[in-house]
Amino acid sequence: MTDILGMPHGSAVDPVLLAAAEGENLRSLSIALLIGAAVLIVSIAAVRLSTRSGLPSLLLYLGIGLALGNRGLGIDFSDAELTQVLGYAALVLILTEGGVTTKWESIKGSLAPAAALATVGVVVSILVVALAGHYVLDMTWSTALLIGAILASTDAAAVFAVLRRVPLPRRVSGMLEAESGFNDAPVVIIVTAIAVQSAAGEQVSLWAISLLVAGELVVGSLVGLAVGWVGGRLMSRVAGGSSALFAIGVVAISVLAYAAADVVHASGFIACYLASLVLGNMSLPHRAAVHGFSTALGWLAQIGLFVLLGLLADPATFLEQVRPALVLGLALLLVARPLSVLVSCTPFGLGWRTQAFLSWAGLRGAVPVVLATVPLTVGATGVEWIFDLVFVLVIIFTLVQAPTLPWVAHRLGLDSGHHSFDLALEVTPFDDIGAHLIEVTVGPLSRLAGVQVYELRLPPGANVALVVRDGASFVPQETTPLRRGDQLLVVTPATLRAAVEKRLYAVSRGGRLAGWSAEG
């Protein structure tokens, strides 16, 4: 028998050797922390460059990974299975951030066309790219379909990062965000199914894959909605005064939704996104803390994921993948994506300008690169080159599409400043006295500006307790006019919080006469 150190019982342990082993472990930890912290700091600094250039930060993070890899500083990393596992974990956090921070009002009018793009559009895209791969590049049908599926998903991280800096009509931006959140789920299922069948030497059965996708999406959606609603109600009951702990709990519920769906062999990604969407649109307290924490985790996941993918890639093979990447990328950008948009969005009455922008804005990013590891992990042979092909394609076409999105939106007349920040609410509960404190920030386009306190007509029992203006605070009078940039502290009984929030939003959008005819 041996002890936990691997030494036979009763044998003497050399304290010098033990100290040396512990010292080596600590030095390894220190080196790992040194590299990790340095990468994070450089990545954070790179965001400024990303903002100025219009390029998604993912390209800079991929570049950091390449610089650290075998052809750079010499870090040896070639574990595709670990990359896939960590990639899926990162995508869960990215989808959580996307769902929690997405307002239902911004996507509810775009939900149907977004769902069509994420299902029908995905099928159209796969078929078109597969045709190009088979007939232009002489790939086998199974390989062409596999690559078409890998490239079918738009990337949530890229879309969330780029589109929120482009002023677009709410319906257009909401459609792209919802699509990128929805389409990961069917694409992951399709890629895995095709890769498994190819690895087993079986003929790809599109009918069987279609049934599998439909079943997993339906069950995953039900699981996500249920976990999000039940988890949100539970969190609202047990929430205390700690916004940090509350934010951790909300993110944990989203992760729980993914895991619960995956355990029952349903789509964990659709469950995670829908649970996060439900949580983000419930009347939960500590909203700002939840948004801040989920956004921080989303950034951390993006940085880690893209650096990891850069480490796995081999720049020595990039040159030979440029031609097939250009062929498939052009087929995707100029044929597959426009046809997907045309087929999916025309029934919903979208004009040609909107469809043209949607066609150009189908950004690819980390998701296709992560999915390119699936054939390697399921044992498919002769497809090792797919990862480098997808990597090169994503880099080339991100360089083409991302910086030109503002210009395309302007040329199509879609950049009319529709993004508006009118009102932000943060709620802190005081359970012991049955009250809530609502912090209200009056945005630059809010019609609360100029409204006097008494004209808010808040429900009886709710009052504006404090106004912070230009760094100074004061207790307002009923006739005190509000200004843009003001921060208000509104105290309300817990039972009236929803009504108070509804009233504040109504006045912010409609001015002092909002709801006058209905309320007398």
Region 345-370 average pLDDT: 88
Q: Which of 73-87, 102-116, 411-425, 500-514 has the lowest mean pLDDT?
A: 411-425
For 245-291, how does the pLDDT look when each residue is reduced to its tens digit (9 = 90+)?
A: 888 999 999 999 999 999 998 999 999 999 999 998 887 877 778 88
Which pair of tokens denotes residue 149?
């599926």
pLDDT score of 127? 94
Q: What is the pLDDT of residue 517?
A: 47
- Mean pLDDT across the chain, nearest whole number? 83
Q: What is the model's pLDDT at position 316?
A: 84
pLDDT-derived band at 133 (thresholds 50, 70, 90) equals: very high
415 against 144, higher pLDDT: 144
* DSSP, residue by residue, 80-122: HHHHHHHHHHHHHHHHHHHHHT--HHHHGGGHHHHHHHHHHHH
The rounded distance, in Å, linking the Cα atoms of 485 and 445 is 10
- Residue 200, token pair as written in the block: 């087993």
Dihedral, CA atoms, 473, 477, 481, 487, nearest 10 degrees? 30
Q: What is the mean pLDDT of residues 24-38?
A: 79
**Taking 80 as the threshold, does the pLDDT of residue 88 lie above it?**
yes
Residue length of the chain: 520
Residue 427 reports pLDDT greater than 70: no
Q: How many CB atoms lie under 10 A from the CB of residue 137?
A: 15
Look at residue 5 in the predicted model and tell me its pLDDT.
46
Under a CB-based contact definition with an 8 Å cutoff, are residues 425 and 439 in contact? yes
Mean pLDDT for 186-201 is 85
> For residue 518, what pLDDT is reported?
44
Does pLDDT of 428 surpass 80? no
Mean pLDDT of 67-71: 80
- Helix pair angle (206-238, 184-199), 10° resolution: 140
Q: What is the pLDDT of residue 80?
A: 84
**pLDDT at residue 165 greater than cutoff 80:** no
Average pLDDT over residues 401-408: 83
Q: Residue 187, by phi and psi: left (phi above 0), alpha (psi -120 to 50) or beta?
A: alpha
- When mean pLDDT is compared across 42-46, 266-270, 425-429, 461-465, the lowest value belongs to 425-429
Asked if pLDDT for residue 393 goes beyond 90, the answer is: yes
Tokens (6 digits) for 290: 């939840």
Q: CB of 323 within 8 A of CB of 389? A: no
Cβ atoms of 365 and 58 within 8 Å: the answer is yes
pTM: 0.76
How high is the pLDDT of residue 411? 86
